[in-house]
Structure 1
Amino acid sequence: MEPTTTIRSNIEDYIRKQGYTLQYFADISGVNAGTLSAIIKGTRPIAMAQLDLITQGMKLEEGHFYEIYGAECFVESAPHWRRLEPFLQRCAELDKLDCIQRVIQQVTDDRSYVSELFELAEYMLERGQKKAARMLYECVAECEKYQHSERLALCHYRIFTLSLGQDQHENLRAAVHFEPYINRLDEERQLDAIKDLANTYSGLRYWDKVYQLAGELEQRVEFLERYKNKEIGYKRTFKHPFFTYRAYAYLLMATVWGERQDYEKALQYTSLYSNLSIEEPAPEDLVFIERFKGWAEVNNYLYKLMMGDYEALNSYLDFIEKNENETLLGLVKIMEAANLYNLDVDHALGRFDAYIHLLLLEDHNYMPSYNNQIKDDRYTKFWAELTFYQLSKGRYTEGFNHLLTCLASAHKIKDDSTIIYCVGLYEEYSMQASESVKQNYKNLIKEVYYRYGKKSNVSVNAL
């Protein structure tokens, strides 16, 4: 990161080549002439605000000198937080992540700014500067002196949530890496951490892990009920009303029993969060009470449908049509039930034809989060179930189109089990595939093989 020229020499050269006087350039840049003279002579350091004004006066893009500035101020000389903080903030605003990375690698050698970097990371996260914040969290985690400190655990929690995206392998890696740090967080923050981790494993369909975490969440709630809220001056630090965490634990448990196809137990746990009641509920509490009531209603329809109660279908359709957040999951479950019990759900598909068409047009490049991870999983699962439904009914054109959509989505999020499922379906019905379908399938499988480092020119040609 050694600069070939200094910022001072760049300013001098610009003024000379333009034929400006120092005063004239001071007027157009907005920097005091005396200050400008001292900067050029090297007797006064350049503040970030002055650097931005000078850059604008020279008609250069914002942040043009940041790399040189970082080297001059924080690598070649001892850094000072009063100058470092605004530099990192401006780099984050302009998305100059390389500048941030180079500087923080240098300034944290003596660990003198670990606390300040952590606070700045929290500030950046609040402002939505997630990539820059993650860099600082990773730096702080690496430099943290005390391995059992809450700050280290909180850094890993932040890194975990910022790491979640479409790649299921990366999501699993992030979850496994973070899990040992949960117990180092304060008791209240553990509630959100366990909930987030459970949601991640849910998106990965690790149902035993989800059930274990749901039990841990319930235990943490019981502990806080006994001890924490009896403290004088108690103030919550968790995100949601306290009562929601126990209810969410029951929701997770019901979900797991549903996935295990034990729908009676799923209904039992659903009843535990269906009618929540607390004393003197605040407006926020009422919102969550209604939310859980809605989830209980739709899940009651769902589990009855999955038990073969075809009469529950229309009520379920009415609910997911009115509640867009439940529509995709609802369609997944309807197709599962249809394939499990050989039900005719053509009328349901017709009712949601416009929604299904929009699914094909959506660009599933979400910001990383466990919610979007779950959406990607549901999206892929829907096309898998719909593919089987159409192919089993002899609708080969629709079925193969859905299969290619499903395979592409599964490849994108690295969902290996669904990729294998698609391959199995294709092999079973390949005699009915058109030449264009065969070619498109061959191209997609080639991409899958390349990702695994296979010599696909041999394997794919054998298809």
Structure 2
Amino acid sequence: MSNIRTYIEDYLKNEGYKLQQFSEMADINVGTLSAIIKGTRLMSMNQLDQITSAMGLEQGYFYEMYGVECFIESVPHWRRLEPFLYRCAELGKLDIIQKVITHVTDDQSYIDELFDVAESLYNKSMNESALILYECVADSEKYQHSERLALCQYRIFLLHKTMSKFDNLNAAVKFEPYIDKLNEEVQLDAIKDLANVYMTIDLWDKVDAWARELERRTEFQLEMQSRRRKNKRRLTAYPLFTYAAYANLLISSVYGTRKEYDKAINYLQKYMKIIEIENPTEEDQNIIDLFKKWGEGINMYSE
């Protein structure tokens, strides 16, 4: 059965290269290269890429083979697996990630690290690769009430949103039970995103219910904020007043769809008061300007 080592040996033979020549081409120590070909030393991702380039092949040419040799047929080692996942993500080798991760998650010891890589990929907008990892971690999570599982489900919900009303409804319904298991600050973003999805599919009763829940939980967080130390790291995507204002904007939108315009105006006016902040930061001011723009809808209701 062919493996990467036999490919290298055949290449050297067919091209007539001595080991020393090829080691210089690949910029790998000749002793190290010899050990790799003999099978007494595993090659790193960097060495694999250097060898691939020296052979004139496209990057990632050997990744499927490398995944099988290093992580399926052999006991996986995180020091090799982590860079492998990142490189596969960079090159869009999603099928290879899926194949390797499905095997690796049989070992619960890698779940923490895989979650961290998923978060890193998510933050780098490598969404398709991140989704594979989140789904595998979620499927492998032993503790069904864990915050990590809830966060995986939140990310899966965000990444599964599409232009399809059916898909969005399905994603929202699956995610709802996990909201309470998230960190209390992160819950605000999750509820905001959930309400937005229900708004896109015109489920206004759901929008109303979650908007009021968002308002309630934001009030609690604002009260807690006054008791926290000033330098505590913020976990929400936006300043807390944003969520209070947005909850009222959503409720106003609900009343607008019901043609209850007096109530719609009341809630718009309420959120306009919320954004009256003394000495706003630059971030605060950008958000305030955005809400003021949305607030122009008052004129629509009052005409």
TM range (shorter): over 0.9
Contact 1:228 1:234 in 2 (8 A): no
Which amino acid counterpart does residue 138 of structure 1 have in structure 2? E
Which amino acid counterpart does residue 293 of structure 1 have in structure 2? K
Q: 2:199 aligns with which of 184, 197, 202?
A: 202
In 2 relative to 1, CA 229–43 (structure 1 residues): closer, same or farther, beyond 3 Å? farther
Match of 1:66 in 2: 63
Match of 2:83 in 1: 86
Contact 1:273 1:293 in 2 (8 A): no
Q: Residues 99-118 of structure 1 correspond to what in structure 2 (within 5 A)?
A: 99-118=96-115
Question: 1:237 and 1:281 mapped to 2: Cα distance?
Answer: 19
- Compute the TM-score of the two structures, normalised by the length of structure 2: 0.97
Match of 1:260 in 2: 258
Match of 2:235 in 1: 237
Question: Deviations along 1:187-229, whole A, 9 cap, x unmatched?
Answer: 1000000000000000000000000000000110111122344
Match of 2:6 in 1: 9
- Give the secondary structure class of the aligned counterpart of 2:109: coil
Question: 2:2 and 2:227 mapped to 1: Cα distance?
Answer: 63
Q: C-alpha displacement at 1:287, in angstroms?
A: 1.6
- Give the secondary structure class of the aligned counterpart of 1:278: coil
Q: 1:157 aligns with which of 151, 154, 157?
A: 154
Structure 2 unaligned regions, length at least 5: none
Match of 1:273 in 2: 271
Q: 1:57 aligns with which of 54, 57, 67?
A: 54
Question: 2:98 and 2:225 mapped to 1: Cα distance?
Answer: 40
Question: 2:277 and 2:298 mapped to 1: Cα distance?
Answer: 23
Contact 2:104 2:110 in 1 (8 A): yes
Question: 1:243 and 1:228 mapped to 2: Cα distance?
Answer: 11
Question: Deviations along 1:296-329, whole A, 9 cap, x unmatched?
Answer: 12x112223xxxx4xxxxxxxxxxxxxxxxxxxx
Question: 1:229 and 1:220 mapped to 2: Cα distance?
Answer: 15
Q: Residues 339-418 of structure 1 correspond to what in structure 2 (within 5 A)?
A: none
Question: 2:81 and 2:226 mapped to 1: Cα distance?
Answer: 40
1:217 and 2:217 are equivalent in the alignment: no
The 4+ residue runs of structure 1 with deviation greater than 2 A are: 225-229, 231-235
1:172 and 2:172 are equivalent in the alignment: no
CA RMSD of aligned residues (A): 1.1
Larger RCO, structures 1/2 (Cα 8 Å, 6+ apart): 1
Structure 1 unaligned regions, length at least 5: 310-463
Which amino acid counterpart does residue 260 of structure 1 have in structure 2? R
Which amino acid counterpart does residue 74 of structure 1 have in structure 2? F
Contact 2:9 2:37 in 1 (8 A): yes
Match of 2:36 in 1: 39
Question: Deviations along 1:340-360, whole A, 9 cap, x unmatched?
Answer: xxxxxxxxxxxxxxxxxxxxx
Match of 2:286 in 1: 287
Question: 1:234 and 1:226 mapped to 2: Cα distance?
Answer: 15
- Give the secondary structure class of the aligned counterpart of 1:113: helix
Which amino acid counterpart does residue 287 of structure 1 have in structure 2? N
Match of 2:299 in 1: 301
Of residues 280-289 and 200-209 in structure 1, the stretch that sits farther from structure 2 once superposed is 280-289
Question: 2:108 and 2:225 mapped to 1: Cα distance?
Answer: 34
- Compute the TM-score of the two structures, normalised by the length of structure 1: 0.64
Match of 2:145 in 1: 148
Question: 2:21 and 2:36 mapped to 1: Cα distance?
Answer: 16
Which amino acid counterpart does residue 293 of structure 2 have in structure 1? G
Contact 1:250 1:269 in 2 (8 A): yes
Instruction: Give the structure with higher Rg (CA).
Output: 1
Contact 1:182 1:194 in 2 (8 A): yes
1:25 and 2:27 are equivalent in the alignment: no
Aligned residues: 301
Contact 1:7 1:69 in 2 (8 A): yes
- Give the secondary structure class of the aligned counterpart of 2:188: helix
Contact 1:11 1:40 in 2 (8 A): yes
Question: Deviations along 1:346-380, whole A, 9 cap, x unmatched?
Answer: xxxxxxxxxxxxxxxxxxxxxxxxxxxxxxxxxxx
Q: C-alpha displacement at 1:180, in angstroms?
A: 0.5
Q: C-alpha displacement at 1:139, in angstroms?
A: 0.6
Match of 1:135 in 2: 132
Question: 1:303 and 1:151 mapped to 2: Cα distance?
Answer: 43
Contact 2:4 2:65 in 1 (8 A): yes
Question: 1:175 and 1:212 mapped to 2: Cα distance?
Answer: 14
Sequence identity percentage: 54
Q: C-alpha displacement at 1:264, in angstroms?
A: 1.3
Q: C-alpha displacement at 1:235, in angstroms?
A: 2.9
Which amino acid counterpart does residue 32 of structure 1 have in structure 2? N
Contact 1:56 1:62 in 2 (8 A): yes
Question: 1:83 and 1:28 mapped to 2: Cα distance?
Answer: 23
Question: Deviations along 1:79-120, whole A, 9 cap, x unmatched?
Answer: 010000000000000000011000001111021100000000
- Give the secondary structure class of the aligned counterpart of 1:158: helix
Question: 1:202 and 1:142 mapped to 2: Cα distance?
Answer: 29
Question: Deviations along 1:206-260, whole A, 9 cap, x unmatched?
Answer: 0000000000001101111223441335332101111111100000000000111
